[in-house]
Amino acid sequence: SAQIADLQQKLLDADNGDRVKQRWDSIATILEAKCALKYLLGELVSSKVQESKLESSLQQSKANCSDIQKMLIEERNHVTEVEAEFQNQLLVQEQHHQEKV
């Protein structure tokens, strides 16, 4: 029964794909063509709007990434400066210790 259900589902899927193709192939009147064209233009507009939103989001993400990279570089430079200062202080402390010894 599971195999039968699987085969029936495959037939339904294949039939749906064929129906869509047949629907486009069977456009015979100007009215049907106008309706199809109206639908396609609506889909085109929807796609363009979505593309615009995604492009805007991408640009915002790129700007955020650039800002984060700048902050990372600044933090690395700061860490390097602090580390150099620490090494200098360590050297001074060692010199003072040597003098005491």
pLDDT tens-digit readout, 18-51 = 666 667 777 778 888 888 889 889 999 999 999 9
**pLDDT attached to residue 29:** 84
HEC assignment per residue over the chain: CHHHHHHHHHHHHHHHHHHHHHHHHCCCCHHHHHHHHHHHHHHHHHHHHHHHHHHHHHHHHHHHHHHHHHHHHHHHHHHHHHHHHHHHHHHHHHHHHHHHC
Name which of 7, 13, 40 is nearest 24 in CA terms: 40
**pLDDT attached to residue 52:** 96
**pLDDT attached to residue 90:** 96
Q: For the whole model, what pTM was predicted?
A: 0.53
pLDDT tens-digit readout, 43-85 = 999 999 999 999 999 999 999 999 999 999 999 999 999 999 9
**pLDDT attached to residue 26:** 74
Q: Is the pLDDT of residue 8 over 90?
A: no
